[in-house]
Amino acid sequence: MNLAKLERVRIATLPTPLQYAGRLTETLGGPKIFIKRDDLTGLALGGNKLRKLEFLLARAKAVGATCVITCGGTQSNHACQTAAAAARVGLKCVLVLASGVHNELQGNLLLDNLFGADVKLIEAPATSPDELDRAMEEVAEHLRRQGEVPYIIPLGGSSRYGAAGYVLASLELINQATELGIRPDYVYVAVGSGSTLAGLIVGAKAFSAPYRVKGVAVYRPPEEQKRAIWALAQDTAELLGLNLTVEPHDVSIYGEFLGPGYGHLTPEAREAIRLVARTEGLVLDPVYTGKAMAALIEHIRAGWVGPEETVVFLHTGGAAAVFAYARELTD
């Protein structure tokens, strides 16, 4: 495998803990639940994007970039973590953010400001990557005329280099499970732009993991994402020199917990956020992990995940966004 040969900037606090959620397990009366704490990666209140940014920022440095450009919604965890990571490695950062219902200077948008990012709000849906890509290209061209060397990081850090971060995370998870003497049956993860899921799928195959990876759509319906994630997983395996085949059926995504769409808090996610807060003292977010946990809870209650099985829930971070949803979470 070529993973060790990829350039990488070490900015994340790794490994992140794998913790048993005893009270949540007892409350749900089902399988043993372990939480992989990627909310504790170190920068910008933590989050999964730092694993990807270690490889993406190394690429930026390698081409002599003076600034990075990325995009997302106004409460984008990826944008916020990119701003923090850029500050850490000494690069300027421009964020192209789709104006939405949470535009107040709160949550991640507040942190973007604190990290010194140049935030540009545009009138476009956060689920329209083509519009966001065009806007980033315009910003990049403007910066080039000013003498800067911009490096564009795609939405969510979704590229084969970003996905490589979660191939590496898979090995970390498998080793921790072995140390704890557990054999996970499933890993549940929120699916936004898709590279976390792609990396986990490749990692599970590469390291002969005992578990299946279950994605929960929070960005777009599964039928709009599966083919792209499958292609990204194949591309990632090729980058790493892995002799393995990713099949379309390896990409498992549940779409029924998306609700009205990206960034919209659902009643099920609100219940999940409150339950985890009141049993484990952990903060899930309304956009990603709240919906992923809602799926896990429903699958346990429906008997799809048996009481003798073991589940790992990947906590991808996003706690800052909670503050932008204060009214919806407390009404």
pLDDT in tens, 129-155: 889 999 999 999 999 999 999 999 999
Average pLDDT of the segment spanning 100-109: 84
Q: Is 76 a catalytic residue?
A: yes
Average pLDDT of the segment spanning 239-258: 96
Question: Domains along the chain?
Answer: 3-47+159-330 (3.40.50.1100), 49-157 (3.40.50.1100)
Model confidence band, residue 41 (pLDDT cutoffs 50, 70, 90): very high
Q: What is the pLDDT of residue 129?
A: 84
Q: What is the pLDDT of residue 227?
A: 95
Q: For residues 98 and 44, what is the distance between their CA atoms, to the nearest angstrom?
A: 20
Q: Of the residues 76, 158, 159, 195, which is catalytic?
A: 76
- 128 has a pLDDT exceeding 90: no
Q: For residues 157 and 224, what is the distance between their CA atoms, to the nearest angstrom?
A: 18
Give tens-digit pLDDT for 53-64.
999 999 999 999
Least confident stretch, 15-24, 52-61, 91-100, 180-189: 91-100
At residue 226, what is the residue type? K
Q: For residues 165 and 8, what is the distance between their CA atoms, to the nearest angstrom?
A: 10
Q: For residues 214 and 185, what is the distance between their CA atoms, to the nearest angstrom?
A: 10
Q: What is the pLDDT of residue 125?
A: 75
Other C-beta atoms closer than 10 Å to the C-beta of 3 total: 18
Which residue reads 């085949």 in tokens? 245
Q: What is the pTM of this model?
A: 0.96
Q: For residues 146 and 141, what is the distance between their CA atoms, to the nearest angstrom?
A: 9
How many CA atoms are closer than 13 Å to the CA of 153, on its beta-carbon side?
39
Token pair for 65: 């970039």
Q: For residues 139 and 43, what is the distance between their CA atoms, to the nearest angstrom?
A: 25
Q: How is 71-140 classified by DSSP, letter by letter?
A: EEETT-HHHHHHHHHHHHHT-EEEEEEE--S--SS-HHHHHHHHTT-EEEEESS-TT-HHHHHHHHHHHH
Other C-beta atoms closer than 10 Å to the C-beta of 133 total: 15
Give tens-digit pLDDT for 155-203.
999 999 999 999 999 999 999 999 999 999 999 999 999 999 999 999 9
Q: What is the pLDDT of residue 287?
A: 95
Q: What is the pLDDT of residue 102?
A: 76
In three-state secondary structure terms, 184 is coil
User: Quick check: 207 and 237 in contact, CB under 8 A?
Assistant: no
- 331 has a pLDDT exceeding 80: no
**For residues 144 and 125, which has the higher predicted lDDT (pLDDT)?**
144
Which run of H or E residues covers position 34? strand 32-37
Strands 32-37 vs 18-20: parallel, antiparallel or unpaired: antiparallel
